[in-house]
Amino acid sequence: MKLIDFGSACVADPEKPRPYYAQFFGTAAYASSEILLKKRYQAAPAEIWTLGILLSYLLTGTSPFPSVRAAAQGKIVIYKPPGATLSKESLDLMRRCLDPNPKTRIKIQEVKTHPWLIS
């Protein structure tokens, strides 16, 4: 399955550093912690955060954050559906996508090779 969202799409020269943005035009429920804290942000780490939100919805049916404040601080709350089991690997990927620090947040290359996706 592929999910495509062109909300942060831009033309970028791969030889140059990625730009930083100050404005956000997406859906607040999917906004990364740096966006919620009104900091300048880069598109790639912000999109990885969104991937973590989507992963939570796909696995649990709920957001991993009970409030905007919890999202800004990266305080994840996992609500498991009754009778559901979530693997350690799936939770690890979700948590790494939802790292509140965009510099240490998992990169797309690491997502592609994460044990949960290749098992």
Phi, psi for residue 51 in degrees, rounded to 5: -60, -40
Per-residue pLDDT band for 10 (boundaries 50, 70, 90) equals low
DSSP state of 8: T
Q: Compute the average pLDDT of residues 6-17.
A: 74
* In-domain check, residue 17: no
* In-domain check, residue 2: no
Task: For residue 45, give its domain range.
Answer: 29-118
CATH code of the domain containing 53: 1.10.510.10
* In-domain check, residue 10: no
Q: What is the pLDDT of residues 61-110, one digit of tens each?
A: 999 999 999 999 999 999 888 888 899 999 999 999 999 999 999 999 99
* In-domain check, residue 57: yes
Per-residue pLDDT at 9 exceeds 70: no
- The pLDDT of residue 36: 95
